[in-house]
Amino acid sequence: MSDCQIIDTNAATIGGCSLCGNKNASNLGFRRKRDWLKDRYAEGLRYKVLRSAKSGDIGMIEYTLGDHAWRPVEAKGYLVIHCLWVKGHHKGKGLGSLLLDNCLEDAQRSKCRGVAVVTSSDSFMAGSALFLKAGFVSVDRLPPYDLLVKRLQKTAPNPRFIVDQERLPKRYRKGLTILVADQCPYAAQSAGRIAKASRTLGLEPRVVRVRSAKASRELPTPYGVFSILYDGKLIAARPISATRFRSIMRGNADACRQRVLA
Protein backbone atom coordinates (compact mmCIF):
# COMPACT_ATOMS: atom_id res chain seq x y z
CA MET A 1 0.00 0.00 0.00
CA SER A 2 2.95 2.36 0.68
CA ASP A 3 3.72 1.94 -3.02
CA CYS A 4 0.46 3.79 -3.85
CA GLN A 5 -0.64 7.38 -3.87
CA ILE A 6 -3.93 9.07 -4.66
CA ILE A 7 -3.56 11.54 -7.52
CA ASP A 8 -6.18 14.26 -7.91
CA THR A 9 -6.58 14.89 -11.64
CA ASN A 10 -7.49 18.00 -13.62
CA ALA A 11 -8.08 18.94 -17.26
CA ALA A 12 -4.33 19.21 -17.93
CA THR A 13 -3.34 15.86 -16.40
CA ILE A 14 -6.30 13.57 -17.13
CA GLY A 15 -5.10 12.62 -20.62
CA GLY A 16 -2.16 10.70 -19.13
CA CYS A 17 -4.29 8.68 -16.68
CA SER A 18 -5.96 5.33 -17.02
CA LEU A 19 -9.75 5.79 -17.04
CA CYS A 20 -11.47 3.04 -15.05
CA GLY A 21 -8.81 0.62 -16.27
CA ASN A 22 -8.95 1.86 -19.86
CA LYS A 23 -5.77 3.54 -21.09
CA ASN A 24 -6.09 3.17 -24.82
CA ALA A 25 -6.13 6.76 -26.10
CA SER A 26 -7.29 5.62 -29.53
CA ASN A 27 -10.38 4.00 -28.02
CA LEU A 28 -13.59 6.00 -28.61
CA GLY A 29 -14.92 5.44 -25.07
CA PHE A 30 -11.61 6.61 -23.56
CA ARG A 31 -11.57 9.78 -25.65
CA ARG A 32 -15.20 10.59 -24.90
CA LYS A 33 -14.70 10.00 -21.17
CA ARG A 34 -11.57 12.17 -21.13
CA ASP A 35 -13.39 15.02 -22.89
CA TRP A 36 -16.44 14.53 -20.66
CA LEU A 37 -14.19 14.84 -17.58
CA LYS A 38 -12.58 18.02 -18.92
CA ASP A 39 -16.05 19.60 -19.02
CA ARG A 40 -16.90 18.44 -15.48
CA TYR A 41 -14.01 19.72 -13.33
CA ALA A 42 -15.42 23.26 -13.27
CA GLU A 43 -18.65 21.84 -11.79
CA GLY A 44 -16.70 20.40 -8.86
CA LEU A 45 -16.28 16.83 -10.11
CA ARG A 46 -13.25 15.00 -8.73
CA TYR A 47 -11.59 12.10 -10.51
CA LYS A 48 -8.87 10.59 -8.34
CA VAL A 49 -6.52 7.91 -9.54
CA LEU A 50 -4.81 5.38 -7.29
CA ARG A 51 -1.30 5.12 -8.70
CA SER A 52 1.18 2.40 -7.81
CA ALA A 53 4.88 3.07 -8.51
CA LYS A 54 5.22 -0.54 -9.62
CA SER A 55 1.89 -1.27 -11.33
CA GLY A 56 0.66 2.10 -12.64
CA ASP A 57 -2.97 3.17 -12.23
CA ILE A 58 -4.77 0.45 -10.26
CA GLY A 59 -7.88 2.18 -8.96
CA MET A 60 -10.04 5.28 -9.08
CA ILE A 61 -12.87 7.16 -7.44
CA GLU A 62 -15.11 9.70 -9.16
CA TYR A 63 -17.56 11.90 -7.31
CA THR A 64 -19.35 15.18 -7.75
CA LEU A 65 -21.84 17.52 -6.10
CA GLY A 66 -25.43 16.29 -5.88
CA ASP A 67 -26.73 18.98 -8.24
CA HIS A 68 -24.33 17.81 -10.97
CA ALA A 69 -24.64 14.04 -10.43
CA TRP A 70 -25.09 11.82 -13.48
CA ARG A 71 -27.29 9.49 -11.45
CA PRO A 72 -31.07 9.92 -11.00
CA VAL A 73 -30.89 10.93 -7.36
CA GLU A 74 -32.07 13.97 -5.41
CA ALA A 75 -29.01 14.66 -3.25
CA LYS A 76 -28.66 18.40 -2.83
CA GLY A 77 -25.69 19.29 -0.62
CA TYR A 78 -24.25 15.78 -0.77
CA LEU A 79 -21.27 14.44 -2.68
CA VAL A 80 -22.40 11.65 -5.01
CA ILE A 81 -19.92 8.90 -5.89
CA HIS A 82 -20.26 7.87 -9.53
CA CYS A 83 -17.63 5.13 -9.52
CA LEU A 84 -15.21 3.35 -7.22
CA TRP A 85 -12.96 0.73 -8.73
CA VAL A 86 -9.86 -1.26 -7.81
CA LYS A 87 -8.10 -3.44 -10.37
CA GLY A 88 -8.19 -7.27 -10.25
CA HIS A 89 -5.63 -8.76 -7.88
CA HIS A 90 -5.13 -5.44 -6.03
CA LYS A 91 -8.59 -5.89 -4.45
CA GLY A 92 -8.96 -6.94 -0.81
CA LYS A 93 -5.92 -4.98 0.38
CA GLY A 94 -7.69 -1.94 1.78
CA LEU A 95 -7.28 0.19 -1.38
CA GLY A 96 -11.00 0.66 -2.02
CA SER A 97 -11.38 1.81 1.59
CA LEU A 98 -8.45 4.20 1.13
CA LEU A 99 -10.16 5.87 -1.86
CA LEU A 100 -13.49 6.01 -0.04
CA ASP A 101 -11.89 7.57 3.06
CA ASN A 102 -10.33 10.23 0.84
CA CYS A 103 -13.79 11.15 -0.50
CA LEU A 104 -15.30 11.19 3.01
CA GLU A 105 -12.51 13.52 4.19
CA ASP A 106 -13.26 15.80 1.24
CA ALA A 107 -16.97 15.85 2.17
CA GLN A 108 -16.08 16.74 5.76
CA ARG A 109 -13.67 19.48 4.67
CA SER A 110 -16.17 21.02 2.26
CA LYS A 111 -18.96 20.85 4.86
CA CYS A 112 -21.23 18.69 2.70
CA ARG A 113 -24.34 17.06 4.10
CA GLY A 114 -22.71 13.69 3.49
CA VAL A 115 -21.80 11.23 0.75
CA ALA A 116 -24.25 9.20 -1.34
CA VAL A 117 -23.63 6.35 -3.76
CA VAL A 118 -25.69 4.10 -6.02
CA THR A 119 -24.56 0.48 -5.63
CA SER A 120 -25.71 -2.67 -7.37
CA SER A 121 -25.67 -6.39 -6.65
CA ASP A 122 -25.05 -6.77 -10.39
CA SER A 123 -21.33 -7.04 -11.22
CA PHE A 124 -20.74 -3.92 -13.34
CA MET A 125 -20.62 -1.44 -10.48
CA ALA A 126 -19.49 -1.48 -6.85
CA GLY A 127 -21.61 -3.52 -4.44
CA SER A 128 -22.78 -2.19 -1.09
CA ALA A 129 -20.45 -4.18 1.26
CA LEU A 130 -17.51 -1.76 1.39
CA PHE A 131 -19.80 1.24 1.96
CA LEU A 132 -21.86 -0.46 4.68
CA LYS A 133 -18.64 -1.31 6.47
CA ALA A 134 -17.68 2.38 6.30
CA GLY A 135 -20.94 3.39 8.04
CA PHE A 136 -23.20 4.04 5.03
CA VAL A 137 -26.87 3.04 5.34
CA SER A 138 -29.43 2.20 2.68
CA VAL A 139 -32.02 4.95 2.15
CA ASP A 140 -33.71 3.92 -1.10
CA ARG A 141 -33.88 0.76 -3.16
CA LEU A 142 -34.80 -0.21 -6.73
CA PRO A 143 -33.48 -3.78 -7.10
CA PRO A 144 -30.74 -4.56 -7.96
CA TYR A 145 -29.79 -0.97 -7.04
CA ASP A 146 -29.38 0.46 -3.58
CA LEU A 147 -28.92 4.13 -2.72
CA LEU A 148 -26.60 4.37 0.28
CA VAL A 149 -25.67 7.41 2.30
CA LYS A 150 -23.29 8.43 5.02
CA ARG A 151 -24.74 11.59 6.53
CA LEU A 152 -22.38 14.09 8.08
CA GLN A 153 -25.13 16.51 9.13
CA LYS A 154 -27.74 14.98 11.42
CA THR A 155 -30.71 17.07 10.24
CA ALA A 156 -30.01 16.83 6.50
CA PRO A 157 -32.80 15.19 4.47
CA ASN A 158 -31.85 11.80 3.04
CA PRO A 159 -31.13 11.55 -0.68
CA ARG A 160 -33.63 9.57 -2.78
CA PHE A 161 -33.98 8.06 -6.22
CA ILE A 162 -35.88 10.19 -8.74
CA VAL A 163 -36.13 7.52 -11.42
CA ASP A 164 -38.95 8.06 -13.90
CA GLN A 165 -39.53 4.64 -15.43
CA GLU A 166 -42.28 5.79 -17.77
CA ARG A 167 -41.46 9.10 -19.45
CA LEU A 168 -38.62 8.02 -21.80
CA PRO A 169 -40.11 4.62 -22.69
CA LYS A 170 -43.24 6.54 -23.70
CA ARG A 171 -41.18 8.98 -25.78
CA TYR A 172 -39.34 6.17 -27.61
CA ARG A 173 -42.37 3.98 -28.28
CA LYS A 174 -41.24 2.51 -31.57
CA GLY A 175 -38.12 0.58 -32.54
CA LEU A 176 -34.74 0.29 -30.87
CA THR A 177 -33.22 3.23 -28.98
CA ILE A 178 -29.82 3.17 -27.28
CA LEU A 179 -29.26 6.02 -24.81
CA VAL A 180 -25.64 6.44 -23.86
CA ALA A 181 -23.66 8.91 -21.74
CA ASP A 182 -19.91 9.43 -21.91
CA GLN A 183 -19.56 9.09 -18.12
CA CYS A 184 -18.67 5.41 -18.60
CA PRO A 185 -15.68 4.78 -20.90
CA TYR A 186 -17.10 1.36 -21.84
CA ALA A 187 -20.56 2.58 -22.86
CA ALA A 188 -19.70 3.87 -26.35
CA GLN A 189 -18.18 0.54 -27.32
CA SER A 190 -21.20 -1.36 -26.03
CA ALA A 191 -23.56 0.98 -27.92
CA GLY A 192 -21.55 0.39 -31.12
CA ARG A 193 -21.64 -3.40 -30.67
CA ILE A 194 -25.38 -3.37 -30.05
CA ALA A 195 -26.06 -1.08 -33.01
CA LYS A 196 -24.13 -3.49 -35.24
CA ALA A 197 -25.89 -6.56 -33.82
CA SER A 198 -29.29 -4.93 -34.22
CA ARG A 199 -28.65 -4.30 -37.93
CA THR A 200 -28.03 -8.03 -38.39
CA LEU A 201 -31.55 -8.48 -36.95
CA GLY A 202 -32.95 -6.03 -39.50
CA LEU A 203 -33.36 -3.18 -37.01
CA GLU A 204 -32.01 0.34 -37.52
CA PRO A 205 -31.21 1.65 -34.02
CA ARG A 206 -31.56 5.21 -32.86
CA VAL A 207 -28.44 6.08 -30.80
CA VAL A 208 -28.97 9.05 -28.46
CA ARG A 209 -25.95 10.64 -26.73
CA VAL A 210 -26.95 11.72 -23.23
CA ARG A 211 -25.22 15.08 -22.96
CA SER A 212 -26.12 16.56 -19.59
CA ALA A 213 -26.54 15.57 -15.96
CA LYS A 214 -30.21 16.55 -16.27
CA ALA A 215 -30.70 14.23 -19.27
CA SER A 216 -28.88 11.39 -17.51
CA ARG A 217 -31.23 11.80 -14.54
CA GLU A 218 -34.16 11.26 -16.93
CA LEU A 219 -33.01 7.76 -17.86
CA PRO A 220 -35.43 5.09 -16.62
CA THR A 221 -32.84 3.41 -14.41
CA PRO A 222 -30.79 4.31 -11.28
CA TYR A 223 -27.66 3.89 -13.42
CA GLY A 224 -28.00 7.13 -15.38
CA VAL A 225 -25.53 6.22 -18.10
CA PHE A 226 -27.00 3.62 -20.38
CA SER A 227 -30.40 2.28 -21.42
CA ILE A 228 -31.73 0.26 -24.32
CA LEU A 229 -35.40 0.68 -25.13
CA TYR A 230 -37.27 -1.52 -27.56
CA ASP A 231 -40.81 -0.60 -28.58
CA GLY A 232 -41.19 1.49 -25.43
CA LYS A 233 -39.82 -1.15 -23.06
CA LEU A 234 -36.53 -1.00 -21.12
CA ILE A 235 -34.61 -4.12 -22.19
CA ALA A 236 -31.16 -3.29 -20.75
CA ALA A 237 -30.06 -0.78 -18.12
CA ARG A 238 -26.30 -1.11 -18.49
CA PRO A 239 -23.67 -1.79 -21.17
CA ILE A 240 -24.10 -5.36 -22.42
CA SER A 241 -22.44 -7.60 -24.98
CA ALA A 242 -23.84 -8.27 -28.44
CA THR A 243 -24.48 -11.89 -27.37
CA ARG A 244 -26.54 -10.75 -24.38
CA PHE A 245 -28.42 -8.30 -26.60
CA ARG A 246 -29.28 -11.02 -29.14
CA SER A 247 -30.48 -13.30 -26.36
CA ILE A 248 -32.73 -10.53 -24.95
CA MET A 249 -34.16 -9.89 -28.41
CA ARG A 250 -34.78 -13.62 -28.92
CA GLY A 251 -36.59 -13.72 -25.56
CA ASN A 252 -38.71 -10.74 -26.66
CA ALA A 253 -39.61 -12.38 -29.97
CA ASP A 254 -40.53 -15.64 -28.18
CA ALA A 255 -42.72 -13.76 -25.70
CA CYS A 256 -44.49 -11.96 -28.59
CA ARG A 257 -45.03 -15.24 -30.45
CA GLN A 258 -46.53 -16.83 -27.33
CA ARG A 259 -48.86 -13.88 -26.87
CA VAL A 260 -50.04 -14.20 -30.49
CA LEU A 261 -50.60 -17.97 -30.10
CA ALA A 262 -52.40 -17.66 -26.74
Ligand X SMILES: CC(C)(COP(=O)(O)OP(=O)(O)OC[C@H]1O[C@@H](n2cnc3c(N)ncnc32)[C@H](O)[C@@H]1OP(=O)(O)O)[C@@H](O)C(=O)NCCC(=O)NCCS
Cis status, amide bond into 144, omega within 30 of 0: yes
- Which residues are within 8 A (CB) of 89 and not within 5 positions of it... i.e. 6 or more apart? none
Helix (H, G, I), strand (E, B) or coil at 205: coil
Nearer to ligand X, 41 or 85 (CB): 85
The count of other CB atoms within 10 Å of the CB of residue 83 is 19
Distance CA 83, CA 187 (A): 14
Helix (H, G, I), strand (E, B) or coil at 209: strand
Q: How far is the CB of 231 from ligand X (least distance, A)?
A: 29
Q: How far is the CB of 157 from ligand X (least distance, A)?
A: 26
Nearer to ligand X, 116 or 197 (CB): 116
* Residues 80 and 64 sit within 8 Å (Cβ to Cβ): yes
Number of helices (H), then strands (E), belonging to the chain: the values are 7, 13
Nearer to ligand X, 197 or 236 (CB): 236
Q: How far is the CB of 221 from ligand X (least distance, A)?
A: 14
Q: How far is the CB of 91 from ligand X (least distance, A)?
A: 3
Nearer to ligand X, 95 or 168 (CB): 95
Q: How far is the CB of 83 from ligand X (least distance, A)?
A: 3
Give the residues lining the site for ligand X (CB under 6 A). Answer: 83-86, 91-97, 124-126, 129-130, 133
Q: How far is the CB of 133 from ligand X (least distance, A)?
A: 5
Nearer to ligand X, 97 or 158 (CB): 97
Nearer to ligand X, 22 or 252 (CB): 22
CB neighbour burial string for 185-216, b if at least 16 within 10 angstroms, e if fewer:
bbbbbbbbbbbebbeeeeeebeebebeebebb
Distance CA 88, CA 96 (A): 12
Q: Residue 164 gets which letter from DSSP? A: -
Q: How far is the CB of 22 from ligand X (least distance, A)?
A: 11
Nearer to ligand X, 50 or 249 (CB): 50
84: nearest Cα among 136, 43, 26: 136
